């Protein structure tokens, strides 16, 4: 093969890719594509100096070494104002029309589904993808090119013979509902953490250091605009830009619409999109209405960080009505009984819902909920289904009663002091608590025995092989390899992971014991304070309460745990099984909290009370201050933020909105 043939092959593979991933119209079979891809790889290995940046083999590169580099956007990446009703939508455009001194009805609107993912800017120079950056604070984002290149619907080279000098394509990276379900199912079997929604999964994937993971997760990209542009073509309308991007090889946002601004037109468009929502392969959280005329867009400009020519009409949480068939009580790791609603299956927000947590008995009382009632189900943020109210009382409604005895071990159920929770008193005699304790011990936040997944633990518990956490270290090849779907090879891997878990950290060990209220951060606090297990075990209530950030309840739980003979025996058994840590590796608190040393300021209207957000930030080690100064690390700005925002802008302090904040917290 010569270089010209190689070039032709690269172009051919890119064309096949485009047909498959952008047009949804494959030209060849997967096997044929794979064979051609492998051949290209061989040719490139034999002729390394031929390698072209746009070769499809370049999509999955090397792991990036550390945190992502910062990239300053040459044209700011803006956000959108929100409208939550038809009135707010119409008002938005009445204001725009007034400012332009033209009638509302003359405004031509382009409506687009609002894709629920994360904003990315792709910079093409002379037609070649140079880098991709996240939105960040709108001015400075992070370089995530290594993961973006794995997205097959993003061309590495624009499909044109006359590429613009510079073109920044802006759009949304997202995960389809189907892929989301698939990776969460896989996460369940592999004992890794499931994502709460497709947006979260896409954001988490883009922040991976290893592009192989992104490649496996098959993200998609759809553009919604451009940033910096220097090219020959002139555009008069936003919709023309969108059509041009499609010719360059991008996916089109389907179901877009043109209409003249009028209340009835917005209303019809909203109804249309709401009906379509369920049938779309990706999550959308609203509709974006844009004035199509670029000249008018330019005249209107921006306010704060959003354009005055576009607004996002957000969908409310999805709602459905169904019947509460029954309530079961699930016993958790610490014995707390959680009421779970068993519902007549109902399709909400793209999934069939048949269960919903009811949290606790206070919640049931607040809802005045009985079995047999017709209830309204919400999927807030399209995530966890929630029973929000009783729509109609059932004819033969039956009260929901907390059982007096544990449904699993029959021990007495007791109300936890002054709290809404009830707890099974069976402790380590309760099979449900044991199974949950083992799952927790092996989970990602604890000993992280990835191969020992929740399903496998359940089976081993049911079979009586695992009867306590320490039994993990007594598992044999036979115990595992004889199970369905496990084989010797897998069993060997699992045993190796168990063996490797024996070397841990003191704080991880304390966390993994499953003491009520002692999660990762409290485990770290205790480890830091006591430094040795002996001292922690012997600490009296007074000493425990005096540790900063350890409240009375937690202190009592710790003391109670180490006063319990069975729990103490478990600790000894784990140590006897070979679990150990190096005391010299004990962490100091300062570098264990991800936001330690940072000062944050909250301003504007946020969707949760400020106090709640403050607690979240403090939990991660940040301080929250009431005023902005040069020492402020970051300002979280909600809607209608005022002088603090201006001050932060003047001082060049990092500013983020709520979406970015949630993204950040979820990734900590
Ligand atoms: S336009 C200057 N169009 O929504 C206007 N944004 O809530 C820039 N989004 O940051 C945005 N679909 O990440 C636009 N069809 C669409 C969109 C869209 C999703 C995201 C985008 C933006 C966020 C604002």
Question: How far does residue 112's CA lie from ligand 1's centre (Å)?
Answer: 9
Q: What is the DSSP string of 259-327?
A: EE--HHHHHHHHHHHHHHHTTSSB-EEEEEEEE-BHHHHHHH-EETTEESSEEEEEPPPEEEEEEEEEE
Which atom of ligand 1 sits closest to the CA of residue 116? 19
Whether the pLDDT of residue 192 is over 80: the answer is no
Cα 128 to Cα 155: distance, rounded to the nearest angstrom: 9
Residue 476's alpha-carbon distances to 4, 450, 466, 570, in angstroms, are 59, 17, 11, 20
pLDDT band for position 658 (cuts 50, 70, 90): confident
Give the pairing type, strands 220-230 and 634-637.
unpaired
| Cβ-proximal residues to 383 (8 Å cutoff; 6+ apart), any chain | 196, 197
pLDDT band for position 383 (cuts 50, 70, 90): low
Question: How far does residue 430's CA lie from ligand 1's centre (Å)?
Answer: 50
Whether the pLDDT of residue 175 is over 70: the answer is yes
Tell me, what's the pLDDT at 445? 84
Closest CA to 304 of 76, 537, 123: 76
Cα 154 to Cα 120: distance, rounded to the nearest angstrom: 11
Whether the pLDDT of residue 80 is over 70: the answer is yes
Q: Which of 64-68, 132-136, 484-488 has the highest mean pLDDT?
A: 132-136
Cα 647 to Cα 587: distance, rounded to the nearest angstrom: 37
Question: How far does residue 36's CA lie from ligand 1's centre (Å)?
Answer: 37
Q: Which of 182-191, 357-366, 464-473 has the lowest mean pLDDT?
A: 182-191
Question: How far does residue 480's CA lie from ligand 1's centre (Å)?
Answer: 49
Question: How far does residue 282's CA lie from ligand 1's centre (Å)?
Answer: 15
Cα 291 to Cα 322: distance, rounded to the nearest angstrom: 40
Question: How far does residue 423's CA lie from ligand 1's centre (Å)?
Answer: 46
Tell me, what's the pLDDT at 417? 75
Cα 361 to Cα 420: distance, rounded to the nearest angstrom: 7
Residues taking part in catalysis: 114
Which atom of ligand 1 sits closest to the CA of residue 119? 13
Closest CA to 211 of 152, 144, 143, 153: 144
Residue whose CB lies within 8 A of the most ligand 1 atoms, among 135, 291, 312, 638, for a mutation test: 312
E-only strand ranges, 332-373: 337-348, 351-357, 370-371
Tell me, what's the pLDDT at 650? 82
Tell me, what's the pLDDT at 588? 66
Question: How far does residue 79's CA lie from ligand 1's centre (Å)?
Answer: 7
| Cβ-proximal residues to 306 (8 Å cutoff; 6+ apart), any chain | 78, 79, 80, 81
* Region 324-335 average pLDDT: 95
Tell me, what's the pLDDT at 237? 97
Q: Which tens digit of pLDDT belongs to each residue from 492-516?
A: 999 999 999 999 999 999 999 999 9
Cα 430 to Cα 333: distance, rounded to the nearest angstrom: 10
Which atom of ligand 1 sits closest to the CA of residue 253? 15
Residue 330, Cβ neighbours under 10 Å: how many?
15
Q: How many CA atoms lie within 13 A of 247 on its CB side?
A: 10
Q: Which tens digit of pLDDT belongs to each residue from 18-34?
A: 999 898 888 998 889 98
pLDDT band for position 350 (cuts 50, 70, 90): low
Q: What is the largest CA-CA distance in the chain?
A: 81
Question: How far does residue 119's CA lie from ligand 1's centre (Å)?
Answer: 7
Which atom of ligand 1 sits closest to the CA of residue 114? 12
- The answer to whether residues 124 and 166 touch, using CB atoms and an 8 Å cutoff, is yes
* Structure tokens that stand for 396 in this block: 């033969």
Closest CA to 659 of 200, 206, 311: 200
The protein residue whose alpha carbon is closest to atom 21 in ligand 1 is 119
Question: How far does residue 224's CA lie from ligand 1's centre (Å)?
Answer: 7
Residue whose CB lies within 8 A of the most ligand 1 atoms, among 75, 84, 96, 114, for a mutation test: 114
* Structure tokens that stand for 7 in this block: 């070039």
Cα 499 to Cα 84: distance, rounded to the nearest angstrom: 54
Cα 601 to Cα 304: distance, rounded to the nearest angstrom: 18
| H or E segment and range at residue 180 | helix 177-189
Tell me, what's the pLDDT at 619? 77
* Structure tokens that stand for 193 in this block: 């953490």
Residue whose CB lies within 8 A of the most ligand 1 atoms, among 121, 172, 203, 221, for a mutation test: 172
* Region 390-407 average pLDDT: 96
Whether the pLDDT of residue 381 is over 60: the answer is no
* Structure tokens that stand for 401 in this block: 């009663």
Return mean pLDDT, the chain.
90
Tell me, what's the pLDDT at 620? 81
3-state DSSP of 182-220 = HHHHHHHHCCCCCCCCHHHHHHHHHCCCCHHHHHHCCCE
Cα 413 to Cα 468: distance, rounded to the nearest angstrom: 21
Cα 384 to Cα 151: distance, rounded to the nearest angstrom: 28
Closest CA to 208 of 59, 67, 57, 56: 67
* Region 399-406 average pLDDT: 97
Cα 439 to Cα 612: distance, rounded to the nearest angstrom: 29
Q: Which tens digit of pLDDT belongs to each residue from 588-603?
A: 655 557 787 788 999 9
Whether the pLDDT of residue 360 is over 80: the answer is yes
Cα 592 to Cα 214: distance, rounded to the nearest angstrom: 27
Cα 656 to Cα 651: distance, rounded to the nearest angstrom: 14
Q: Which of 388-402, 545-559, 635-649 has the highest mean pLDDT?
A: 388-402
Q: Which of 222-231, 480-489, 642-651 has the highest mean pLDDT?
A: 222-231
Residue whose CB lies within 8 A of the most ligand 1 atoms, among 82, 288, 637, for a mutation test: 288
Which atom of ligand 1 sits closest to the CA of residue 312? 7
Which atom of ligand 1 sits closest to the CA of residue 113? 15
Would you call 14 helix, strand, or coil by DSSP?
helix
Cα 330 versus chain centre, distance: 26
Tell me, what's the pLDDT at 67? 62
Question: How far does residue 418's CA lie from ligand 1's centre (Å)?
Answer: 46
Q: Which tens digit of pLDDT belongs to each residue from 41-52?
A: 999 999 999 999
Tell me, what's the pLDDT at 281? 93
Cα 446 to Cα 246: distance, rounded to the nearest angstrom: 47
* Region 268-294 average pLDDT: 94
No. of helices (H) and no. of strands (E), the chain: 24, 28
Q: Which tens digit of pLDDT belongs to each residue from 145-170?
A: 999 999 999 999 999 999 999 999 99
DSSP state of 336: B
Which atom of ligand 1 sits closest to the CA of residue 307? 2
The protein residue whose alpha carbon is closest to atom 1 in ligand 1 is 224
Residue whose CB lies within 8 A of the most ligand 1 atoms, among 119, 310, 656, for a mutation test: 119
pTM for the predicted model, two decimal places: 0.60
The protein residue whose alpha carbon is closest to atom 13 in ligand 1 is 119
Give the pairing type, strands 398-399 and 385-392.
unpaired
Residue 623, Cβ neighbours under 10 Å: how many?
14
* Structure tokens that stand for 362 in this block: 């206070």
Cα 176 to Cα 153: distance, rounded to the nearest angstrom: 13
Closest CA to 593 of 572, 569, 621: 621
Which atom of ligand 1 sits closest to the CA of residue 82? 7
Question: How far does residue 384's CA lie from ligand 1's centre (Å)?
Answer: 24
> Taking CB atoms and a 6 Å cutoff, what residues make up the pocket around ligand 1?
78-80, 112, 114-115, 119, 172, 224-225, 253, 288, 307, 310, 312
Tell me, what's the pLDDT at 341? 96
- The answer to whether residues 505 and 524 touch, using CB atoms and an 8 Å cutoff, is no
* Region 468-473 average pLDDT: 97
Q: Torsions phi, psi of 268, nearest 5?
A: -60, -40
The protein residue whose alpha carbon is closest to atom 12 in ligand 1 is 114
Tell me, what's the pLDDT at 357? 87
Q: Torsions phi, psi of 291, nearest 5?
A: -70, 125
Whether the pLDDT of residue 111 is over 60: the answer is yes
Q: Which tens digit of pLDDT belongs to each residue from 113-124?
A: 999 999 999 999
The protein residue whose alpha carbon is closest to atom 17 in ligand 1 is 114
* Region 354-368 average pLDDT: 93
- The answer to whether residues 284 and 277 touch, using CB atoms and an 8 Å cutoff, is yes
Cα 614 to Cα 514: distance, rounded to the nearest angstrom: 27
Tell me, what's the pLDDT at 96? 96
Q: Which tens digit of pLDDT belongs to each residue from 567-623?
A: 999 999 999 999 999 988 786 655 557 787 788 999 988 877 788 788 888 878 788
Percent of all residues in the chain with a pLDDT value above 70, rounded to a whole number: 97
């Amino acid at each position: 093969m010569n270089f010209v043939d190689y070039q032709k092959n690269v172009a051919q593979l890119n064309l096949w890719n485009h047909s498959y991933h952008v047009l949804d119209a494959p030209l060849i079979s997967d096997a044929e594509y794979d064979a051609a891809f492998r051949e290209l790889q061989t040719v490139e290995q034999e002729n390394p100096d031929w390698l072209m940046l746009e070769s499809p083999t370049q999509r999955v590169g090397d792991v990036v070494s550390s945190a992502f580099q910062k990239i300053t956007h040459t044209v700011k990446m803006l956000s959108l104002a929100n409208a939550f009703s038809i009135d707010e939508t119409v008002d938005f455009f009445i204001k725009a029309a007034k400012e332009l001194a033209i009638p509302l009805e003359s405004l031509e609107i382009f409506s687009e589904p609002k894709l629920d993912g994360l904003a990315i800017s792709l910079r093409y120079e002379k037609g070649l993808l140079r880098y991709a950056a996240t939105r960040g604070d709108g001015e400075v984002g992070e370089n995530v090119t290594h993961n973006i290149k794995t997205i097959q619907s993003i061309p590495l080279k624009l499909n044109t013979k006359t590429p613009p000098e510079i073109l920044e394509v802006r759009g949304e990276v997202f995960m389809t509902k189907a892929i989301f379900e698939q990776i969460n199912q896989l996460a369940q079997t592999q004992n890794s953490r499931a994502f709460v929604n497709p947006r979260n999964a896409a954001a988490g994937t883009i922040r991976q250091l290893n592009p192989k993971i992104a490649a496996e997760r098959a993200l998609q990209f759809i553009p919604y605009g451009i940033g910096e542009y220097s090219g020959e073509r002139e555009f008069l309308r936003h919709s023309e830009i969108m059509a041009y991007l499609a010719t360059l090889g991008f996916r089109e946002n389907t179901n877009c619409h043109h209409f003249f601004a009028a209340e009835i037109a917005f209303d019809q468009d909203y109804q249309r999109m709401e009906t379509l929502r369920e049938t779309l392969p990706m999550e959308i959280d609203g509709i974006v209405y844009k004035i199509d005329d670029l000249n008018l867009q330019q005249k209107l400009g921006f306010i704060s960080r959003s354009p005055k020519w576009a607004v996002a009409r957000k969908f409310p949480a999805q709602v459905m009505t169904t019947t509460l068939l029954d309530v079961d009580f699930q016993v958790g790791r610490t014995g707390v009984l959680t009421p779970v609603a068993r519902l007549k299956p109902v399709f909400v927000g793209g999934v069939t819902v048949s269960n919903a947590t009811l949290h606790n008995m206070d919640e049931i009382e607040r809802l005045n909920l009985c079995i047999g009632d017709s209830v309204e189900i919400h999927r807030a943020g399209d995530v966890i289904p929630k029973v929000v109210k009783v729509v109609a009382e059932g004819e033969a409604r039956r009260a929901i009663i907390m059982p007096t005895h544990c449904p699993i071990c029959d021990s007495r159920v007791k109300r936890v002091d002054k709290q809404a929770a009830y707890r099974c008193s069976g402790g380590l005699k309760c099979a449900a608590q044991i199974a949950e304790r083992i799952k927790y011990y092996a989970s990602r936040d604890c000993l992280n025995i990835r191969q020992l997944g929740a399903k496998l633990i359940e089976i081993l518990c049911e079979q009586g092989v695992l009867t306590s956490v320490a039994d993990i270290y007594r598992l044999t090849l036979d115990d595992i390899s004889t199970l369905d779907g496990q084989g010797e090879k897998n069993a060997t891997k699992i045993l190796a992971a168990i063996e490797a878990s024996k070397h841990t950290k003191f704080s991880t060990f304390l966390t993994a014991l499953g003491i009520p209220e002692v999660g990762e951060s409290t485990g770290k606090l205790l480890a830091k304070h006591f430094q040795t297990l002996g001292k922690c075990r012997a600490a009296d209530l007074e000493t425990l309460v005096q540790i900063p950030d350890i409240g009375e309840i937690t202190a009592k739980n710790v003391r109670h745990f180490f006063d319990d003979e069975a729990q103490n025996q478990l600790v000894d058994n784990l140590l006897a099984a070979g679990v150990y840590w190096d005391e010299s590796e004990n962490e100091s608190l300062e570098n264990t909290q991800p936001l330690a040393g940072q000062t944050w300021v909250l301003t504007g209207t946020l969707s949760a009370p400020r106090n709640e957000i403050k607690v979240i930030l403090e939990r991660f080690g940040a301080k929250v201050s009431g005023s902005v100064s040069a020492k402020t690390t970051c300002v979280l700005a909600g809607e209608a933020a005022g002088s603090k925002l201006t001050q932060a802008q003047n001082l060049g302090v990092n500013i983020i909105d709520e979406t970015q904040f949630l993204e950040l917290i979820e990734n900590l």
